[in-house]
Amino acid sequence: MKKSFLILWVILFSLVSCSVNNEESQHLLWYDRPAERWEEALPIGNGRLGAMIFGGADHELLQLNEETIWAGEPGNNIPGGFREVLPELRSLVFEGKYREAEELAMTRIPRYPPPDNNHGMAYQPAGNLRISFPGHGKVKEYRRELDIGNALAKVTYTIDQVTYTREYLATAADRVIMVRLTAGKKGMINCSLKLDSPHEKWTVRSDKGILALDGVSGDQDNKRGRVRFGIRVLPVAEGGVVTEAGDSLVVSAADAVTLFVSIGTNFNDYRDITGDAGQRADSVLTTVAGKDPAEIRAAHVRDYREYFDRVSLDLGVTDSVRNTTDRRVVDFAHGNDPHLAALYFQFGRYLLISSSRPGSQPANLQGIWNDRVSPPWDSKYTININTEMNYWPAELTALPEMHWPLIGMVKDLAVTGRDAAGEMYGARGWVVHHNTDLWRITGPVDGASYGLWPMGGAWLSQHLWQHYLYGGDREFLTEIYPVLKGVAMFYMDVLQREPEHDWLVVNPSMSPENTHPGGARMAAGTTMDNQLVFDVFSNLVDASGILDWDHAFADSVSRLREMLAPMQIGRFGQLQEWMADWDRADDRHRHVSHLYGLYPGNQVSPWSHPGLFRAARNSLEYRGDESTGWSMGWKVNLWARLLDGNRAHKLITDQLSPAPLEGWGQHGGTYPNLFDAHPPFQIDGNFGCTAGIAEMLIQSHDGAIFLLPALPDAWPVGRVRGLRARGGFTVDFSWREMQVEDVTVHSSLGGNCRLRLPNEVVCKETVLQPVEPGEKNSNPYYRQPRIKDPLNHATVELPSPGLPQTVLVDLATEAGKTYHLNRKQELKPQ
Ligand code: FUC
């Protein structure tokens, strides 16, 4: 980059940055029109309750969700008669008779579930709150916004010089959605409120100044809809009156109105739906009704910012920030708007805090925001990539508490998955296939050709291990050890010796959703499976070592790990997706399962296994960039791990381009409200890209904390605060001219902090130790990638041709202490 351009850029950056900070618009999504479509409406949520706000001046719509309103009732979906055909199925696969194997499996796990089984239940909406404002058809100075820095949505406009303001929030502290209606003049608030629902069975009434809707969720497959829900809306008017008019409420001539929306269901846990929905919704209202709305607002903002403020990201601000957010998405590819990437990053964190709170359900395919009774893929939990992707930002972007709902679900699955392991495979431990739902089903769904992938638990259990690696909580590790052991035990029992090399492999399985030249999906020993089992076994061995128990079991796992199939390089120089060299150069499938080992796994290191690293890069090149939203989100992370910042940024650009508003398709993008498009909407791409942006700035999986591993030319200057690294470290740093400037490392556990940096630094508090290539990191949370390597990929040490020049230093830290490092200035000649 030319120096003069850089200087200009830096000046612009600081000037506009100041003015924008002053305007407090760093974290704003804003629009000059109401939403006409759902994909334009703005999401708020408190983990359990969600609303999409349309913001119409004369007709407001809040589309409401509650996270436990799902079709169906408790119960699993394990298919009968599978175990009887399993030996034959395995033989057919090993004989290469894949189609026959798939046909046989389909007789037990058909595409459409038999009347006595199900393919998972749908997450369903609660209802709609409609507010009419008579006479507000024509308004001026309309503005609709979402402030993700405070989790507040707002609509303002004027009529005859009177300004009307609506503010919306979903508070976890007070467990309600609150809407505050005010006007610049007394007595001007007139509106009527109505509730309805897209469900088949519901009733609505107004009673004692409260609007109440009671309903029940839908039937699906072999399950009856038995989730009862109650929505309550209480308007508290200041001045004016509230009257009942049939099944609606009318507010007249009020100075201000606060609407409280609460939703209760009968759901207690996946086995128990004996709660009282109406009573739950009522009791929340009773608690908030007497409170000062200003206090509720302040408590909400405090509570939200406790999480959100942990991380800040500044990539620079340009004039684009003055445009509406939908315009910025249209312009992103051709303009200069690094701030939109930072906003999109923070929007992912906003969505995670708003859809996944301690004690809530994990974020599903749409987080908690869904207006359809039959949403795409039931808006459930697809665990062959999507649900895991939702949680990629959790640890790294300092939201570990938001990870708990997923960890809780994995603990549930470790119970319900025992039946699937025993009944389907005759195995110990637990297993779950490629989907689950509120009821924690563990059998296959969508027929054997998609669903017979017994690896969901293997992937999900990585999240427990990663939670430990970031936070270092031994008690947590002790608590989840049986879950890790259960998943390892399952693979101990089901692994089969394949005839050609005698490797231990999973059979039958698949490389999620991709077909191979045998015309089928069913296969044995796919690369992703091998990588996943390797991680399952490695986590168990490491956990047993750390806790110093169960050594005999860990030893047997360790021996089996030696017998797993290795990663292999195929005829195009690609990392093979399958055990045989079947990959096609023109395969553009959205799943890049065999690259799990590169990301989110850490089995492919540029420093220790450059051959595999190059092969992974070739595979990704062949796959191409364009795809659905989540696939592009994954590729941002993969290119970051391949240390190619410009290519990662290109993927961000593809993802931040306008998504088609109509229909389904194979090419994703971003909707006006910044929701990711599969299309239609699927939230995983938001979360994947958020993680990817962080992964471009910091990585901590490969023996060190690497700062600026994949910085694109588009972000020459910036600063980030609060990102987390494995081993209990929190790191802030700034950069300029692709060099790290100031770094602050906070250590919560103490121990060696090995940094990999693009340039030399000095530390104010202590002396940094330079690291010799190949030297082992003494920090127990840092493990070099270890792979089974019979192909003798040379293990190289630094420096290796083609890799960026970096320096490696060790910083000895104490728990609870903070360290400051600065770029080492070159000595100027006298
Ligand atoms: C996986 C993907 C689809 C979709 C679905 C929810 O099956 O292959 O693209 O994202 O999950």
Q: What is the pLDDT of residues 749-808, one digit of tens each?
A: 999 999 999 999 999 999 999 998 778 899 999 876 656 654 544 444 445 667 888 999
Q: Report the 3 state secondary structure along 160-211.
A: CCEEEEEEEEEECCCCEEEEEEEECCCCCEEEEEEEECCCCEEEEEEECCEE
Ligand 1 touching residue 386 (CB < 6 A) = yes
> Residue 768 to residues 706, 809, 812: CA-CA distances in angstroms?
15, 6, 8
Q: Where are the alpha helices (DSSP H) in 438-509?
A: 448-451, 456-471, 474-494
Ligand 1 touching residue 382 (CB < 6 A) = yes
Given this model, what pLDDT does residue 667 score?
A: 81
Ligand 1 mean position to 110 CA, how many Å? 19
Rg (CA), the chain: 27
Q: Which residues of the chain have pLDDT under 70?
A: 1-25, 784-801, 826-830
Ligand 1 mean position to 382 CA, how many Å? 7
Q: Whose CA is nearest to atom 7 of ligand 1?
A: 382
Mutate to test the pocket of ligand 1, among 119, 384, 385, 434 (most ligand atoms within 8 A of CB): 385
Atom of ligand 1 nearest to the CA of 591: 8
Ligand 1 touching residue 628 (CB < 6 A) = yes
Pairing of strands 705-707, 751-757: parallel
Q: Whose CA is nearest to atom 11 of ligand 1?
A: 382
Q: Is 72 in contact with 118 (CB distance < 8 Å)?
A: yes
**∠501-507-509 over CA atoms, to 5°?**
125
Given this model, what pLDDT does residue 519 score?
A: 86
Given this model, what pLDDT does residue 25 score?
A: 63
Atom of ligand 1 nearest to the CA of 377: 6
Mutate to test the pocket of ligand 1, among 513, 667, 686 (most ligand atoms within 8 A of CB): 513
Mutate to test the pocket of ligand 1, among 119, 365, 381, 382 (most ligand atoms within 8 A of CB): 382
* Cβ neighbours, 10 Å, residue 530: 26
Question: Residue 808 is inside which H or E element, if any?
Answer: strand 807-813
Q: SS3 breakdown of the chain: % helix, strand, coil, rounded to 5?
A: 35, 25, 40
* Cβ neighbours, 10 Å, residue 493: 15
Comparing CA positions, the residue from 334, 337, 332 lying closest to residue 319 is: 337
Q: What is the distance between the alpha carbons of residues 781 and 589, in angstroms, rounded to a whole number? A: 35
Q: What is the distance between the alpha carbons of residues 132 and 62, in angstroms, rounded to a whole number? A: 12
**∠44-46-47 over CA atoms, to 5°?**
115
| pTM (predicted TM-score) | 0.96
Token couple for 777 = 């990191």
Given this model, what pLDDT does residue 829 score?
A: 61
Given this model, what pLDDT does residue 788 score?
A: 60
DSSP string, 645-681: HHHHHHHHHHHTSBPPSSS--S--EE-TTS-EESSSB
Given this model, what pLDDT does residue 772 score?
A: 87
Ligand 1 mean position to 339 CA, how many Å? 30
Ligand 1 mean position to 385 CA, how many Å? 8
Ligand 1 touching residue 513 (CB < 6 A) = yes
**Phi then psi for 130, rounded to 5 degrees?**
-115, 130
